[in-house]
């Protein structure tokens, strides 16, 4: 039996050539009876091509899809994944089975990002019970988010690097990874190099240590001292907060001020560690109050109701709840390791753009489609305009507009990617979705025209150009740009009847 999960290996790849080279070396250097490759980024035929490129005999193993192991579910949880993996191992009946797992699934859904640590621990438990197996997790450095790469780096006792297996100095055991508390991480890592520190820890009761919380936060907010697990916060569309068990926080209170409570939460969330004074928030919600005193009394009632909604008022003191007041400045405190959709959306868009500029179409598509799933509506869509369009304190409107423009650009970028990948129906669909957002997006019209030309649907191409021309005229926006006119004329010249 292999000790300390030395059969749990991390493989970090910057590009496809590195993957091919590593696959060749691993399938020959690790003693195995057979292998399984669980593909997430590519269809089977492309994985087969990679193995053949490295002269690895495909018949010696199986190429399976991540969906067969529950890694494409809306919520990716460890138990179903491990059950599917155990069933496959039982069927394979190999005494030495090498299992490759592409970890790109983690960027596809918020749950993939949140529960990545949970699955890492479950993989190691599985290997303890199945020592005949070796799992190699493959991390695509160009697609996975930075936090996810760090989680992966800390999850494997062994790393395959510079053509050989190496002991990982950054490895953290599953119980430390899952809780992700800074002090526990520090103590373990220092204990690896300082025997005195390690001995000191073994003689102490961990319950006497001060509780610490995650440093891997998506926004610069304070961390609550509550024992409650991580939240998942959706800012696109309606503001929604899910507790760790999946329960949706109910905003309804007897006060009937749901929209105001959401506005306060959203305001403090975006203010982050800067916080905001009671007067700022009172002026936002009750600008027409007869006196400042009346506005402030209403604000104090709203804060009390908001604390009740979030659940921090019943079991914690005023200074330890999810809304705290320090020196007349109010701050939002989130449970440790909480997830928010906004930073992930931005990062995926940036990564997608970089891949597209480098003509790495498949990687760009993974990033862009993952970002597109996150955008479920405009920023804080259910918070009334009277709170978001504040001329003196533009805390939301500009951001809402910026994210909407970013989403529109994302849609016509996906149209372009799908067209280049010769997936024309998808390209037209994305262009139409962009035009539904704004009928005068020239880039969207351009992508739809190019896709129609590729399908030789020249009548439809001609109609599309006329639709755009008429739309611009309707809104008094002039005529199509000269570049688009030239493109249209070039495409029509190629018409073959």
Number of domains in the chain: 4
How far apart CA 242 and CA 324 sit, in angstroms, is: 21
> Tens of pLDDT along 400-421?
999 999 999 999 999 999 999 9
Tell me, what DSSP letter sits at residue 377?
S
Residue with tokens 């190099």: 193
Give me the helices (H) in 93-230, please: 110-114, 116-129, 146-153, 174-179, 182-193, 195-202
Burial 143-168 (b: 16+ CB within 10 A, else e): bbbebbbebbbbbbbbbbeeeebeeb
45 and 187 part of one domain: no
Task: Extract the residue ranges of the chain whose pLDDT is less than 50.
Answer: 1-3, 205-218, 313-316, 319, 497
Task: Sort 212 into a burial class: Cβ within 10 Å, 0-12 / 13-18 / 19+.
Answer: middle
pTM metric for this prediction? 0.79
483 and 366 part of one domain: yes
Q: Which domain holds residue 31?
A: 3-175
Residue 322: give its domain's CATH number.
1.10.10.10
Task: Classify 390 in phi/psi space as left (phi over 0), alpha (psi -120 to 50) or beta.
Answer: beta
349 and 446 part of one domain: yes
366 and 475 part of one domain: yes
Contact assessment for residue 328 and residue 120, using Cβ atoms and an 8 Å cutoff: no
187 and 167 part of one domain: no
15 and 138 part of one domain: yes
What is the predicted pLDDT for the residue at 208?
Answer: 36
Strands 133-140 and 97-102: parallel
What number of residues does the chain have? Answer: 497
Last residue of a domain, one of 147, 175, 203: 175
Q: Which residues pair with 61 in a beta bridge?
A: 35
The contacts of residue 219 (CB under 8 Å, 6+ apart) are: 269, 272, 340, 342, 343
Q: Which residues pair with 164 in a beta bridge?
A: 161
What is the predicted pLDDT for the residue at 212?
Answer: 36
What is the predicted pLDDT for the residue at 328?
Answer: 87
Helix 278-285 and helix 258-271, axial crossing angle in degrees, nearest 10: 140
169 and 185 part of one domain: no
331 and 394 part of one domain: no
Task: Sort 54 into a burial class: Cβ within 10 Å, 0-12 / 13-18 / 19+.
Answer: middle
Residue 133: give its domain's CATH number.
3.40.50.300
Distance from chain centroid for Cα 472? 37
Q: Which residues pair with 8 in a beta bridge?
A: 135
What is the predicted pLDDT for the residue at 255?
Answer: 59
Last residue of a domain, one of 339, 367, 387: 339
What is the predicted pLDDT for the residue at 224?
Answer: 77
Last residue of a domain, one of 339, 371, 396: 339
335 and 429 part of one domain: no
> Tens of pLDDT along 432-453?
999 999 999 999 999 999 999 9
Strand ranges inside 226-284, DSSP E:
232-234, 240-242, 276-277
228 and 273 part of one domain: yes
353 and 465 part of one domain: yes
63 and 171 part of one domain: yes
């Amino acid at each position: 039996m292999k000790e300390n999960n030395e059969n749990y290996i991390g493989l970090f790849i910057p590009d496809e050539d590195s993957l091919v080279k590593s696959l060749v070396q691993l399938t020959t250097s690790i003693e195995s009876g057979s292998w399984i490759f669980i593909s997430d980024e590519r269809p089977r035929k492309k994985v087969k091509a990679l193995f053949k490129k490295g002269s690895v005999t495909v018949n010696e193993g199986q190429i399976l899809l991540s969906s067969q192991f529950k890694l494409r579910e809306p919520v990716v949880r460890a138990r179903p994944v491990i059950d599917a993996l155990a069933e496959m191992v039982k069927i394979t009946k190999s005494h030495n089975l090498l299992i490759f797992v592409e970890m790109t699934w983690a960027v596809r859904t918020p749950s993939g990002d949140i529960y990545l640590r949970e699955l890492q621990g479950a993989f190691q438990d599985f290997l303890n019970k199945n020592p005949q197996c070796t799992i190699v997790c493959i991390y695509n450095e160009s697609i996975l988010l930075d936090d996810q790469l760090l989680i992966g780096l800390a999850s494997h006792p062994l790393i395959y690097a510079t053509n050989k297996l190496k002991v990982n100095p950054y490895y953290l055991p599953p119980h430390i990874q899952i809780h992700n508390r800074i002090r526990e991480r520090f103590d373990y890592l220092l204990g690896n190099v300082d025997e005195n520190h390690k001995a000191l820890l073994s003689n102490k009761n961990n319950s006497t240590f001060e509780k610490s919380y995650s440093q891997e936060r998506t926004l610069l907010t304070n961390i609550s001292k509550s024992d409650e697990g991580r939240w998942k916060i959706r800012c696109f569309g309606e503001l929604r907060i899910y507790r760790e068990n999946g329960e949706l926080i109910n905003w309804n209170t007897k006060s009937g001020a749901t929209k105001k409570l959401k506005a306060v939460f959203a305001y403090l969330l975006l203010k982050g560690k800067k916080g905001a004074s009671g007067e700022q928030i009172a002026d936002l919600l009750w600008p027409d109050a007869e006196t400042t005193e009346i506005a402030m009394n209403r604000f104090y009632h709203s804060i009390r109701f908001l604390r009740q909604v979030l659940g921090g008022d019943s079991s914690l003191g005023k200074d330890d709840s999810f809304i705290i007041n320090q020196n007349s400045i109010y701050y939002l405190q989130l449970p440790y390791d909480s997830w928010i959709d906004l930073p992930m959306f931005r990062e995926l868009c940036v990564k997608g753009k970089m891949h597209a500029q480098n003509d790495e179409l498949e990687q760009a598509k993974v990033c862009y489609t993952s970002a597109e799933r996150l955008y479920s509506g405009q920023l804080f869509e259910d918070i009334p305009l009277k709170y978001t369009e504040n001329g003196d304190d533009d805390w939301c409107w500009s951001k809402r507009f910026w994210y909407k423009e970013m989403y529109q650009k994302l849609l016509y970028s996906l149209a372009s990617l799908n067209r280049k990948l010769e997936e024309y129906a998808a390209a037209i669909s994305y262009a139409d979705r962009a035009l539904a957002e704004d009928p005068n997006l020239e880039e969207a019209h351009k992508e739809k025209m190019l896709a129609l030309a590729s399908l030789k649907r020249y009548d439809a191409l001609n109609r599309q150009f006329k639709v755009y021309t008429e739309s611009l005229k309707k809104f008094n926006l002039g005529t199509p740009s000269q570049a688009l006119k030239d493109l249209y004329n070039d495409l029509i010249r190629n018409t073959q009847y």
